[in-house]
Amino acid sequence: MARLDVTETFHSIMFPGHMHTKDSLNYATNFEFQDTDTVIVTYPKSGTTWMQEIITLVLSKGDPTIAQTQPNWARAPWLEQYYCDDVLKASNGPRVITTHLPYHLLAPALQNSKAKVIYVARNLKDVSVSYYHFHKMANFLPNPGTFSNFLNHFLKGAVHYGSWFDHVKGWTSHAKDIQNFLYIEYEEMCQDLQGSVQKVSGFLQCPLTEDELNLAQKHCSFNSMKENAMVNYTLIPQEIIDHSKGKFMRKGKVGDWRNTFTEEQSGLVDDVYSSQMTDSSLLFKWECLEKTVRPLMSFNTSESHTPRTVLA
Ligand code: PPS
């Protein structure tokens, strides 16, 4: 499947035609989830591949064999991509499925499902920089032009997979409607990888011994994954991902946006963030670290698996 220049528009959201077709997107929205499924949900560049690796290692009790011999898309295929059905049919054992779809497109399929949903969110400034660099190397995404040009499109949601704001708000505001939901932030994974792996193992009810946990943590570190051809996308031919233009495992840092953003761009994002998130009670940990946008009055700590909320 080439279609490198094709954009597939589905429910007003653009998707790269290289991996998506109308049929594959319809397949995703009508998917029959099983209660034993684990579903990784992310906006692009938010820690998708990392969570795929963590889950693989949790399920294999820290044994890296599968992580080092099977590409991530074969272990945790993207639901909306054309090959998903074939991969799932060929798999045995509990299914791990990945998706970048917004909540409203998957909500009907997920209704009444007991599938375990893990939502990974990342600071939108770092997401925009990571996404910009990925556009430069991925020949199935449009040429991003300058960062300033890309950022304007990104803030309007006029990029592939749609608006970061709609994605994050859609999924987190419906966390309570999903029976088994774990919310985790990329920043938390960077700050406390062992704790994050433990959180995932607890959520998947797949306890690890201390040795297994240490092994899992070791193999999903940035440095291990950077060298692992099964997750660093070097298996993808040059004409599809141009590896001379960058690396998929690029920096893996929190706050790297500071090396790209001007002060003006940072202010613009803060303003758009404030206006777009007024109807959201979500308080990101990175907000606390960087600047508190709204006063922290009270956390809802009754359910550790759902996003923390602030009563403003
Ligand atoms: S994609 O294309 O949507 O699947 O991309 P995604 O996997 O969501 O995001 C890629 C970014 O995640 C970083 N990454 C990691 N950071 C820290 N530690 C580990 N182990 C790790 N694995 C992936 C990757 O480097 C991309 O971020 P940037 O900022 O570009 O480095």
Instruction: Examine residue 208 and state whether it is found in any structural domain, yes or no.
Output: yes
Pocket test for ligand 1, best of 50, 72, 196 (most atoms within 8 A of CB): 50
**Count of domains for the chain:** 1
As a whole number of angstroms, the distance between CA 52 and CA 72 comes to 7
Instruction: Examine residue 155 and state whether it is found in any structural domain, yes or no.
Output: yes
Q: Is the CB of 222 under 6 A from ligand 1?
A: yes
133-155: pLDDT as tens digits:
999 999 999 999 999 999 999 99
pLDDT at 312 over 60: no
Q: Is the CB of 249 under 6 A from ligand 1?
A: yes
Query: Contact, 285 vs 185, CB < 8 A?
Result: yes
Query: Contact, 309 vs 281, CB < 8 A?
Result: yes
Range of the domain at 201: 17-311
Q: Is the CB of 40 under 6 A from ligand 1?
A: no
Q: Of 170, 196, 169, 206, which Cα lies nearest the Cα of 280?
A: 169
Q: Which of 11, 18, 20, 100 is catalytic?
A: 100
- Tell the residue nearest (CA) to atom 16 of ligand 1: 252
Instruction: Examine residue 10 and state whether it is found in any structural domain, yes or no.
Output: no
Active site residue 20: no
What is the b/e burial string over 19-28, where b = at least 16 CB atoms within 10 angstroms of the residue's CB? bbbeebbebb
pLDDT band at 306 (very low <50, low <70, confident <90, very high): low
Instruction: Examine residue 4 and state whether it is found in any structural domain, yes or no.
Output: no
Q: How far is the CA of 7 from the centre of ligand 1 (A)?
A: 23
The backbone torsions φ and ψ at residue 183, rounded to the nearest 5 degrees and listed phi first, read -105, 130
Mean pLDDT over 196-223 rounds to 98
Instruction: Examine residue 144 and state whether it is found in any structural domain, yes or no.
Output: yes
Q: Is the CB of 225 under 6 A from ligand 1?
A: yes
Instruction: Examine residue 180 and state whether it is found in any structural domain, yes or no.
Output: yes
Is this prediction's pTM over 0.85? yes
Q: Residue 293: what pLDDT? A: 38
Q: Residue 193: what pLDDT? A: 98
166-181: pLDDT as tens digits:
999 999 999 999 999 9
Q: How far is the CA of 120 from the centre of ligand 1 (A)?
A: 11
CATH code of the domain containing 72? 3.40.50.300
Query: Two tokens at 2?
Result: 């080439």
Q: How far is the CA of 111 from the centre of ligand 1 (A)?
A: 30
As a whole number of angstroms, the distance between CA 15 and CA 286 comes to 28
Instruction: Examine residue 9 and state whether it is found in any structural domain, yes or no.
Output: no
- Tell the residue nearest (CA) to atom 6 of ligand 1: 45
Return the biggest CA–CA distance within the chain.
51
Instruction: Examine residue 110 and state whether it is found in any structural domain, yes or no.
Output: yes
